[in-house]
Amino acid sequence: MIESKQSVLMCQSRLSPKCNPEDARQYMAGTFGLTPTQVDEYGGKNVVLCGPCFFHHYWLDMLQRDKQEPGTAVIVDGVHYVIGPEKSGSFRGFGGAHYTIEFFDGRAVNSTNLWYQGEVPPEFRAQMPNNARFKRG
Ligand SMILES: [Zn+2]
């Protein structure tokens, strides 16, 4: 029986300004429901992130996505949405609810496949400014 090593898994990315390196172990265990041994095993093969960095990474990916698929990102009052394809399968954003989106550049888009990603964090607001509003009624 090998005694489990009490190594401290530190955040390996330091992506977020709020990076909390010591939080990584607890975050990995809490999020993925891993035992300390499993966290060690995971950490030996993968990049370990703390909670704030995981969150930061999510938004970096979003920024990348927005650039790769221009015209599909909708940011209203600091909340990020994505317009999905109208001809998609059975899962639709907001249960297929109809939205009319008026972009500040003059485009108007009707969507029944709008997806919600969450509130843009303060450190991303300069790169992800509001770009539209919902037309009411
Ligand atoms: Zn971190």
Chain segment 111-123, per-residue pLDDT in tens:
999 999 999 999 9
Give 133 Cα–ligand 1 centroid separation in angstroms: 34
CB 117 within 8 A of CB 63: no
Q: What is the pLDDT of residue 7?
A: 52
> Per this entry, what is the length of the chain?
137
| pLDDT exceeds 60 at position 32 | yes
Give 10 Cα–ligand 1 centroid separation in angstroms: 8
- Which DSSP helix (H) or strand (E) runs through 58? helix 51-68
CA-to-CA distance for 35 and 136, rounded, in angstroms? 49
Q: What is the pLDDT of residue 23?
A: 84
| pLDDT exceeds 50 at position 5 | no
- In one-letter notation, the amino acid at residue 57 is H
Give 50 Cα–ligand 1 centroid separation in angstroms: 4
Give 59 Cα–ligand 1 centroid separation in angstroms: 14
**If you average pLDDT over each of 1-5, 26-30, 41-45, 76-80, which comes out highest?**
76-80
Give 80 Cα–ligand 1 centroid separation in angstroms: 23
CA-to-CA distance for 74 and 103, rounded, in angstroms? 8
| pLDDT exceeds 50 at position 6 | no
